[in-house]
Amino acid sequence: DVKVTQSSRYLVKRTGEKVFLECVQDMDHENMFWYRQDPGLGLRLIYFSYDVKMKEKGDIPEGYSVSREKKERFSLILESASTNQTSMYLCASSLWGESNTGELFFGEGSRLTVL
């Protein structure tokens, strides 16, 4: 089974702090994604990556950056956390090709509270 592991389930940070959210997948998937999930809204894509050292902006990249130095690891960085970044952050990976649907496999999520 595919496993996507996020480093922290719950974090509490103060405004202005730098925050690192780590995500590791163990199935050699090329594609990795960071979403945030807020009540009443659909999942919103922050950044995604199709390959090592590659990154693409999603719908809401402002205030975030990412790093993909190894295929299995995709990190989300909040350079200076703000209260409006309080949210659930979901990492996902997928294998995309003609022989599969490309469904996403999600991590358990990291609930970040910024005070």
CB of 15 to another protein, least distance (A): 25
CB of 18 to another protein, least distance (A): 25
Which of 20/96 has CB closer to another protein? Answer: 96
CB of 40 to another protein, least distance (A): 6
Q: Are 67 and 79 in contact (CB under 8 A)?
A: no
Which of 16/102 has CB closer to another protein? Answer: 102
Site of interaction with another protein (CB under 8 A): 4, 40-45, 90, 96, 101-109
Which of 17/58 has CB closer to another protein? Answer: 58
DSSP state string for 60-106: --TT-EEEEEETTEEEEEESS--GGG-EEEEEEEE--STTS----EE
Distance CA 68, CA 43 (A): 21
Q: 32: helix, coil or strand?
A: strand
